[in-house]
Amino acid sequence: MNFRRLILALPLLCATAAPALHAATVTSEPWGKLQDGTAVDVYTITDKNIEVKIATYGARIISLSVPDKDGKMSSVVLGAPDINGYVRFGAPAYAGASIGRFANRIAGGTFTLNGKTYNTPKNNGPNTLHGGNGGFDRKVWTAKTTPDGVTMSLTSPDGDMGFPGNLSVSVDFAVKQQKGSPALTITYNATTDAPTVINFTNHSYFNLGDPATPVFDDIARIDADKYTPVNASAIPTGTNDPVQGNAFDFRTAHAIGQSIPDRGYDHNWVLNPHKPNVAVAEISDPHTGRDVQVFTDQPGLQFYVPKSPAPPTPPPAAATNPNAAPGAAPSPAPNPNFRPRPSTNAFTLETQHFPDSPNQPSFPSTELDPGKPFHSVTTLLFTVKK
């Protein structure tokens, strides 16, 4: 036997025999077209005890299924059954979407950067909300599969919704097992060729149990000693107030509905200094046992829980797209049973910078400059409590 030849072959044999690294399964399929004929696809990421569906329209999570305490798989985010449910209605198109250029509100639809004033669309009373009426939630993103999921990319030109600079942004959705449980990691990257302001988040509406049941019994914890109080139009007053002794204190876990204000929750919590591997928030459903933990490098968490029921769903009508070409054929009517805006049966966990930061010098800066890429990571870890 030629021992020299055998020894040289051993590394190759070991490499061949070693099991392949585990990776999620990623598939894609057509999901429909916008009014202007633009095609929209859905990517499905599947791994042990998790399935995530993401549409290229809005880089949007339309379904996120994990097991309950009995092993039953069902989606924990609210969503429409088809693209028409998102296109037909106005602001509800935010459901599950990647938000930009600027998540949350900008007071008066205006801000000043380096001595120049910029005007953005007033689509929320006197304010700009989630980047304007043609924000990232209304764009069709370019998708590329990865070993663990999919990366959605978008170029926002200079002047888009009034914001300066040519902005290149990508959102990576990756599914992996962490601590023996399924997790969805969302990574944001962006670059600009001119100074601008940015604020990104994912706007999924969560319900860890029955989507027709309010979330007031869910147990919530938020690691924040302070929050940013707001005025009548939901713009921060500029202060960071203590949560101690009021309805915003979730430092000790308790039911969401225990002290919920009449207006519900739609506020930014100032997260305590934290490490990326420490959960800044956690919510559990006592009935299904589902639990979601939030890990992020962002300074704020917008926790939204509406208290009042949603208005009646409008009758079905032809879908419209604000970017559609004149004379384009309308899309089919949406599912009449789909409520585009949740009532009391959902909460959001929007990791982000603070609302109206461009107009609030004391808040963490949201300015992005050329040559200084933006990078941020948020992870949702799903477990079961029996």
Q: Which of 306, 237, 229 has the alpha carbon at shortest distance from 270?
A: 229
Catalytic member of 51, 267, 282, 350: 350
- Find out whether the peptide bond into 290 is cis, omega within 30 degrees of 0: no
Element (H, E) at 33: strand 25-33
**CA 117, 118, 120: angle at the middle one, nearest 5?**
150
Is 350 in the active site?
yes
Please give the order of strands across the beta sheet that includes 300-305: 241-242, 226-228, 265-270, 300-305, 348-352
Catalytic member of 130, 203, 267, 353: 203
- What does the alpha-carbon distance between residue 175 and residue 192 come to, in Å, rounded to a whole number? 28
List CB contacts of 304: < 8 A, sequence separation 6 or more: 264, 265, 266, 347, 348, 350
Let me know how long the chain is.
386
Cβ atoms of 298 and 202 within 8 Å: the answer is no
HSE-CB at 117 with a 13 A cutoff on CA atoms is: 5
Is 367 in the active site?
no
- What does the alpha-carbon distance between residue 114 and residue 93 come to, in Å, rounded to a whole number? 33
Catalytic residues: 203, 350
